[in-house]
Amino acid sequence: AKRFGILTSGGDCPGLNAVIRGAVLKGGTVYGHEFVGFKDGWHGLVYGDIVELNRASVRGLSHEGGTILGTSRFGPYQEPDGGPDNIKKVLKNLGIDGVIALGGEGTASASKRLFEDGINIVGVPKTIDNDIDATDYTFGFNTAVEIATEAIDRLRTTGNSHKRCMVLEVMGRHAGWIALHSGIAGGAHAILIPEQPESLDQICAWVTGVRSRGRSPMVVVAEGFKLPDMKEEYSVKGLDGFNRPRLGGIGEVLAPLIEERTGIETRSTVLGHIQRGGVPSAYDRVLATRFGMAVADLVADRAWGKMVALRGTDIVRITFDEALANPKQVPADQYQEIRVIFG
């Protein structure tokens, strides 16, 4: 039987286990394929660190958060013993015919390079941020939006009781999809996203407007939002090369500024990795299972260099290049559509 190896790389995401289960079940049942998992992302591939995956080992996995395989943020060319020649040897020794890489942008670009270097590899897009242009949705996004919406609902009652302005910071470094959707669902009075600049004056005008109607203002801000005059020196570079705020996140920068300007007591909450942990929503379990089954078809067809994606209600095949082409940001008209009812 043909044998394929699955890895999960980059930040984890609710639904990864459902993809693994979908691939193993369909690949095993329909094609008679065997599967192994590489532990901790590319590290497991580079060092041949594997675990057998079969019907029994994926039982009950669709509702489990995180990834049973572990993940890491390092790429196959960054590992000390990485690179295509070593990986080809590892795959040959283990009798593995191809690799299924579940991951975001970093994973897709590493996969593309490995594919061009002669490795049999396919991919599944993954990010809670929903910022991959070639797929309408990624699993994990719906779960994150549900969690952020629940947080807004909870913050609203305590905010109302104390007549405070509540600021919720959600994830989204480059794209504000989680902020936009949870903000709309939770009825936020202002939604701030990386794609759309808003001044402190404007934000405070919305906040005071809400207060003048006797309500407690609710501001949802994506972590990547910046005030026009915010300086880079407020941030430090993390191990992964991304800038992180030195003093808490943008929510914690914003809250005291709002309080100072408006005279309305303001509190901030940073939701953080709560958005990535725990059980996936039913929607994400379905999407992830469908992605998993579709990637089993990809390897059966030996369609190397391809990824699965959602277009409308259909699962389609895309290239690594298509997945990497444009990050999907919130278009200005979609933001304007909801901005008219802020405040």
Site string for ligand F6P, 55-94 (x = CB under 6 A): ----------------------------------------
Fill in the amino acid letter for 27.
Answer: G
Asked if residue 196 belongs to a known ligand binding site, the reply is no
Fill in the amino acid letter for 338.
Answer: I
Asked if residue 66 belongs to a known ligand binding site, the reply is no
Contacts of 89 by beta carbon, 8 Å cutoff, 6+ apart? none
The Cα-based distances of 28 to 1, 24, 53, 308 in angstroms read 10, 6, 10, 19
Residue 45 interacting with ligand F6P (CB under 6 A): no
Helix runs in 32-172, H state only? 42-46, 84-94, 105-116, 141-162
Q: How far is the CB of 283 from ligand F6P (least distance, A)?
A: 18
Number of chain residues interacting with ligand F6P (CB under 6 A): 10
Residue of 128, 167, 193, 309 interacting with ligand F6P (CB under 6 A): 128
Residue of 91, 101, 171, 270 interacting with ligand F6P (CB under 6 A): 171
Q: Which residues of 203-214 are buried (b: 16+ CB within 10 A; e: fewer)?
A: bbbbbbebbeee
Residue 302: CA count within 13 A, CB half-sphere? 4
Asked if residue 154 belongs to a known ligand binding site, the reply is no
The residue range among 14-22, 79-87, 121-129, 198-206 that interacts with ligand F6P, by the rule CB under 6 A, is 121-129
Residue 27 interacting with ligand F6P (CB under 6 A): no
Residue 226 interacting with ligand F6P (CB under 6 A): no
Residue 194 interacting with ligand F6P (CB under 6 A): no
Q: Is 129 designated active site?
A: yes
Residue of 34, 64, 129, 322 interacting with ligand F6P (CB under 6 A): 129
Cβ-contact 254, 167 below 8 angstroms: yes
Fill in the amino acid letter for 151.
Answer: A
Catalytic, out of 40, 49, 81, 129: 129
The span from the CA of 211 to the CA of 190, in Å, is: 13
Residue of 70, 75, 172, 245 interacting with ligand F6P (CB under 6 A): 172
Contacts of 328 by beta carbon, 8 Å cutoff, 6+ apart? 130, 131, 132, 133, 175, 177
Q: How far is the CB of 172 from ligand F6P (least distance, A)?
A: 5
Active-site residue numbers? Answer: 129
Residues that bind ligand F6P (CB under 6 A): 11, 104, 127-129, 171-173, 223, 276
